[in-house]
Amino acid sequence: MAFLQASTAEFRQVYWLAVAIVGAFVGWKVLRYGMRPKNMPPGPPTIPILGNLHQMPLKDFHFKFREWAQEYGPIVTLKVGGSNIILLNDESVVKDLLEKRGHLYAARPDLFIREFCGNMNIAFRDNDDVWRRQRKMYHLRLNKTVANQYVPYQAFDSTQLLNDMLDTPDDFSRHIQRYTTSVASTVLYGWRTTSGGQKEIKDLMDWMDLTEAASSLQLVDFFPFLRPIYRYCPTFLMPYKQTLRKIRKIEDRLFFQLMNSAKENIAKGKVYPSFIRDMLLSEDKDRLNEVEIANNAAHGFGAATDTQWNTTLGFVKAMLLYPEVQAEAHRELDRVIGKDRLPQWDDRENLPYMRAIVEESLRWMPTTLSAAVPHSLLKDDVYKGYLIPKGSSMFINVWTLNNNVKNNPRAFDPSRHSPEDTLNDNYGIDPDSSKRPHFTFGAGRRVCPGFHVAERGLFIAMSRLLWAFKFDRKLDASGAPIPIVQDAVTDGFIVRPVTYPAVIKPRDQGRVKVIRDAWKEAQDSLDASGNFTEEFFEKVFVSKMKKP
């Protein structure tokens, strides 16, 4: 009996010792969760569980990111729960990692949104075979040569933009949005956006707003152990899953409706230039299936619409705040173009100051303050002695990178961009990041594939707006300019300038007549629904293709 008692006592001691060891180990693991390992790039101090989550600003995060970059250096680690955010704050780091090791850093973080939205969004998908074929379509169908075929769309809709601005200049933001949306709908689908009230446009805008909200890093992305709860918790209890369900419903209905409409037009012989037409008629061995085509076109629409709208609003804001830049642009346009015609894309070569204004607009007010969707890496990597763990979110710190320039980076100064540089067709996406004027289009193997179409749309709109109008600050009752906060932007990863007032007037009545006459003539190319007639396509596209 004494032996049994001794054995039992010894067993209890061993048991409680084991419990204490396990408890200490679990406690140590819990206390280490969210803490930055010493072998990772530096960053602000972390605390258990949260890491740096408690320090993440709820708005204007780009200012905090720049502050951390200035304090901790060209590469910074933020721990957000169990996840790693790596800020790339210097051109050399972007070059070393995203360019020289592009095969390793072209993945995407494992965001929860991918599980519930079919993982067809090219922006979120890893660099697998489907993504490679999706991306190839953009390279083939939106490259520099193909982008030129869409210039007539951009020229046409910019003519309506000018006419609309004459009618209701106070609605300039809405007019610019219609322009960028219409360019996107014609390039992607072959039909115009006559107003923001079209049902398809409303649906696409709803989808874009929901997707932007859902793709912002969520609690489940910070703490991956929550995923089983998110997966199996009833949707009615989780607003986030309700948002994801709305996104999926719109995609399943609208994306295929748009694709089927394009297929019907092709069957009727209306084979008008568009991205979806090219994908549907492709005989490439890497041709996408119809699910992939429907999603690829719609996601391209989303990427093209907001970004150009936001950039053009930034440009108008700069013209208000920097009248000397506007005056110099007026002088160049008057010297090269004159008063009797609108600027054309073909004039770009002779308008170096306008080329510089476009690039400075992209640098000065980027629509993505820190790469809208971060890169990720496929396996652990070591950079300058620092460990970068597999799956880390690699943020191109766009605001910081764009302001890594000399001589007052927050001044809007087109002279930063030489005429020789801006003549380079790839200036804004130069594969050598040390030569980049900005990082607004991203970097590495995920750089924006629609760059050449965007450059044309921005140049045509900005040059024509400056040719036609003078932009002035609005005055209050006492005659003082109403304050405009230069760097004020909306919340989120994709931003636009906070609403500001402007006085926009035609430069002279001769230009008004040129605009009115051009728009009157342009309307002859539209049918009753506001879309292009077959005669327009015959005149603009088919006749050009017949030329030797």
Q: What percent of the chain clears pLDDT 90, i.e. is strictly above it?
A: 67
Q: What does pTM read for this prediction?
A: 0.91
**Are β-strands 393-396 and 83-88 bridged in parallel, bridged antiparallel, or unpaired?**
parallel
Tell me: the pLDDT tens digits for 360-418? 999 999 998 876 689 999 999 999 999 999 999 999 999 999 999 988 999 999 999 99
Domain count, the chain: 1
Angstrom CA distances, 195 to 158, 389, 457, 529, stand at 14, 47, 18, 11
Q: Quick check: 504 and 169 in contact, CB under 8 A?
A: yes
Residue 235 lies in a domain: yes
What does pLDDT average to over the chain?
90
Distance CA 56, CA 395 (A): 14
Distance CA 71, CA 88 (A): 13
pLDDT of residue 12: 62
Q: Is the dihedral of CA 34, 37, 40, 41 positive or negative?
A: positive
> What 3-state DSSP class applies to 402?
helix
DSSP 381: E
Residue 478's pLDDT band (cuts 50, 70, 90): very high
Distance CA 192, CA 344 (A): 20
Residue 539's pLDDT band (cuts 50, 70, 90): confident
Tell me: the pLDDT tens digits for 45-58? 999 999 999 999 88
Distance CA 537, CA 524 (A): 12
pLDDT of residue 493: 77
Residue 2 lies in a domain: no
Distance CA 378, CA 221 (A): 17
Q: Which residues of 149-162 are buried (b: 16+ CB within 10 A; e: fewer)?
A: bbbbbbbbbbbbbb
pLDDT of residue 297: 93
CB atoms within 10 A of CB 131: 20
Q: Which of 133-147, 454-468, 513-527 has the lowest mean pLDDT?
A: 133-147
Distance CA 295, CA 302 (A): 11
Phi, psi of 55, deg, nearest 5: -100, -10
Distance CA 421, CA 311 (A): 20
Residue 48 lies in a domain: no
Residue 492's pLDDT band (cuts 50, 70, 90): confident
Structural domain containing residue 337: 53-546
pLDDT of residue 13: 62
pLDDT of residue 394: 96
Q: Which residues of 507-524 are buried (b: 16+ CB within 10 A; e: fewer)?
A: beeebeebbeebbeebee
Residue 456 lies in a domain: yes
> What 3-state DSSP class applies to 51?
strand
Q: How many Cα atoms sit within 13 Å of 52 on the Cβ side? A: 19
Q: What is the mean pLDDT of residues 269-287?
A: 88
Amino acid identity of 70? Answer: Q
Residue pointed to by tokens 């700069």: 318
> What 3-state DSSP class applies to 268?
coil
Residue 445 lies in a domain: yes
The contacts of residue 161 (CB under 8 Å, 6+ apart) are 175, 176, 178, 179, 461, 464, 465
Residue 42 lies in a domain: no
Distance CA 184, CA 498 (A): 23
Q: Quick check: 386 and 41 in contact, CB under 8 A?
A: yes
Residue 5, Cα to own-chain centre: how many angstroms? 72
Tell me: the pLDDT tens digits for 320-351? 999 999 999 999 999 999 999 999 999 999 99
Distance CA 427, CA 435 (A): 8
DSSP 526: B
Residue 7 lies in a domain: no
Say whether pLDDT at 20 is over 80: no
**How big is the CA angle at 327 (ends 321 and 331), to the nearest 5 degrees?**
155
Distance CA 474, CA 302 (A): 32
Q: Quick check: 6 and 354 in contact, CB under 8 A?
A: no
For position 343, which CATH number holds?
Answer: 1.10.630.10
Determine what percent of the chain falls in helix, strand and coil, rounding each to the nearest 5: 60, 10, 35
Say whether pLDDT at 3 is over 70: no
Residue 32's pLDDT band (cuts 50, 70, 90): low
Tell me: the pLDDT tens digits for 167-224? 999 999 999 999 999 999 999 998 898 876 788 888 888 888 888 888 877 888 889 8
Say whether pLDDT at 11 is over 60: no
Q: Which of 232-246, 287-301, 370-384, 470-484 has the highest mean pLDDT?
A: 470-484
Q: What percent of the chain clears pLDDT 70, i.e. is strictly above it?
A: 92
**Are β-strands 469-472 and 393-396 bridged in parallel, bridged antiparallel, or unpaired?**
unpaired
pLDDT of residue 545: 44
The DSSP H or E segment spanning 382 is strand 381-383
pLDDT of residue 546: 42
Q: Which of 20-29, 152-161, 446-455 has the lowest mean pLDDT?
A: 20-29
Distance CA 472, CA 169 (A): 12
Angstrom CA distances, 516 to 122, 139, 164, 452, stand at 41, 37, 10, 29
Q: Name the more confident of 474 and 302.
A: 474
Residue 298 lies in a domain: yes
Distance CA 102, CA 442 (A): 13
**Is 448 labelled as part of a ligand binding site?**
yes
Helix residue ranges, H only, 73-225: 91-94, 113-116, 129-141, 144-147, 151-167, 172-189, 199-215, 219-222
